[in-house]
Every structure is written in structure tokens, then in C-alpha cells.
């Protein structure tokens, strides 16, 4: 039996969702590790388990619940991923970014992405947030590798403005207005799942990274190929700064993410309101 091609899988997933929720959405949100409660800002119309959607991967990470949420924030229609997929879970990059492709068909033109990350900049502290203004892709596979999906974008997308200057400036204004402590910097994406060695932290800092994590970059590459405007924000959950490195457990990461969550939630809520 012939296997359905990737493009048709995307369209079948889209059609399944359309049959349950036919209204177009403008804004997509990806909620990262320990940040699922940001979804509580959404006035929910419908929740769909990932396991119900054809060809959708299923999140295997304990802190990711695995639901697609449709609803509104301040009257703006949104779709939010409560739980994302990671390369380290064993998925291919095409599987990791599958939901972003589906979001495009659903009408998404702006994507807000959150994550938990390790801080590399000496000025950062655990529980603070970093607005992402650029990234370094250190994953061993690119989500655009293979036959190009011409209906979704060009073969060689430009990444000079991966993160929207407009949305970065708006987020900074919001953070200043609410007197939030925040940073702005470059996010390095690595495959994981292990945390970095002290030498690796030093290397990442040397090449220009301010934070490091195991997600976000693949989704952003695919979103930008499709012309979606992107905003990214990180919760600093541990430190990879020389002299401040210590053993970290997932419980400590989740605790730190919870510290940053109210700030991230407010910035993203206000972003949606003012976009």
C-alpha cells in the first residue's frame, strides 16, 4: 500500500481540524516546558487531543500535555499547542514541525513561541525571561531538508529577520511598561536531551549565544519559510555561566519556569491584544 506523502498528511490533518472547528485563526502559540498554564489566558472554544488528529505526533515529555486549543484572547482568534515535540524524542524534523505547517493552513500569520532554556549571559538569573532576537541552529537535521514543498514556500528562505523586529520592540515596550526584568538575546538550539557540559556552555557563549535550549529553532525555520511573522521568548530555568553551573533536575527546571511564567504570560497576552 502506498504511503501518503507529507503534503497530503498536512492537508488531511487540517481537514480533520476544520471539520471540528471551521473558523480561521490568525495567531498561533507554542507553549513550552512548564509553561502550559499560559493557555489559561485563552477563552477556549474547543480542545483537541493530539492523538485524535491524523498524522500528528504525540508529546512524550511529562511536562507537555498534548492538546491543540482553539479560542480567543482579547477577541483575537488563536490556536495554541499545549505541549510541543522535540527532536530528542526520536521524531524527525518534519514531524517536529508538522503542526506549524497545519497552522499555516488554518490561517495563522503570526506565531508566538515560548520555551525553557539555560542562561549563558552572566547578567541573567534563574526565573527571568529573555526575548529572542536571533538564533543559532546546532541541530543535526534541518526541517527543510528533502523535497521542497513549493506550496508552502521557497527552497532557500532568507533568515535575516527570523524574529520580528516589530514584535520584539512591542514586547520590550510591554515589559518596560509593566516594569518586568527582561533580557534580549540569541537562542542556541541543540538536539539534547542531556544538558551541556561546562565546556559546551563556554563554546556556546563564545559563538554568540545568550541562552540554549532543545526546541524552537525548527518551528521558526518552517514558520519563516511560510511567511509567518515570529516572536520568541525564553524562561531562564538554569545557568550555564562559569562559576554558576550546578546539577539541575527537571523538577528544578519546572520550578524556575513557573517563576518566569507570569511575566511571559502577561507579555504574550498583551502582544496578542496589541498586534
Please write the tens of the pLDDT for every residue from 162-203.
999 999 999 999 999 999 999 999 999 999 899 999 999 999
**Eight-state DSSP code of residue 14:** H
What is the distance between the alpha carbons of residues 215 and 188, in angstroms, rounded to a whole number? 9
pLDDT per residue as tens digits for the range 30-87: 988 666 667 788 899 999 999 899 999 876 655 446 889 999 999 999 999 988 899 9
Rounded to 10 degrees, what is the CA torsion of 252, 220, 180, 240?
40
Which residues contact residue 112 at a Cβ distance below 8 angstroms, ignoring those fewer than 6 apart? 27, 28, 29, 30, 230, 231, 232, 233, 268, 271, 272
Asked whether residue 264 carries a pLDDT value surpassing 60, the answer given is yes
Q: Which CATH superfamily is domain 24-274 in?
A: Nucleoside phosphorylase domain (3.40.50.1580)
Which pTM does this prediction carry?
A: 0.93
Residue 101's pLDDT is 97
Residue 35's pLDDT is 66
Sequence-ordered strand ranges (E) for 74-181: 76-82, 110-119, 129-137
Amino acid at each position: 500500500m502506498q504511503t501518503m506523502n507529507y503534503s497530503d498528511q498536512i492537508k488531511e490533518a487540517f481537514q480533520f481540524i476544520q471539520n471540528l472547528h471551521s473558523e480561521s485563526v490568525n495567531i498561533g502559540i507554542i507553549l513550552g516546558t512548564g509553561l502550559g498554564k499560559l493557555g489559561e489566558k485563552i477563552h477556549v472554544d474547543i480542545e483537541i487531543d493530539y492523538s485524535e488528529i491524523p498524522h500528528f505526533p504525540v508529546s512524550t515529555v511529562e511536562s507537555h500535555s498534548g492538546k491543540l486549543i482553539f479560542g480567543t484572547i482579547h477577541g483575537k482568534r488563536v490556536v495554541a499547542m499545549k505541549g510541543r515535540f522535540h527532536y530528542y524524542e526520536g521524531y524527525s524534523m518534519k514531524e517536529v514541525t508538522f503542526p506549524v505547517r497545519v497552522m499555516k493552513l488554518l490561517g495563522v500569520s503570526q506565531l508566538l513561541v515560548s520555551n525553557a532554556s539555560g542562561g549563558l549571559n552572566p547578567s541573567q538569573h534563574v526565573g527571568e525571561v529573555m526575548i529572542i532576537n536571533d538564533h543559532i541552529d546546532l541541530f543535526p537535521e534541518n526541517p527543510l531538508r528533502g523535497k521542497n514543498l513549493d506550496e508552502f514556500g521557497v527552497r532557500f528562505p532568507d533568515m535575516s529577520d527570523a524574529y520580528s523586529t516589530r514584535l520584539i520592540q512591542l514586547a520590550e515596550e510591554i515589559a518596560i511598561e509593566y516594569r518586568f526584568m527582561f533580557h534580549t538575546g540569541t537562542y542556541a538550539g541543540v538536539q539534547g536531551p542531556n544538558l551541556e557540559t561546562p565546556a559546551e556552555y563556554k563554546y556556546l557563549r563564545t559563538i554568540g549565544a545568550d541562552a540554549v535550549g532543545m526546541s524552537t529553532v525548527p518551528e521558526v525555520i518552517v514558520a519563516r519559510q511560510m511567511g509567518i511573522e515570529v516572536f520568541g521568548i525564553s524562561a531562564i530555568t538554569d545557568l550555564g555561566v562559569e562559576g554558576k553551573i550546578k546539577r539541575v533536575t527537571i523538577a528544578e527546571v519546572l520550578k524556575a519556569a513557573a517563576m518566569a511564567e507570569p511575566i511571559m504570560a502577561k507579555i504574550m497576552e498583551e502582544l496578542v491584544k496589541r498586534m
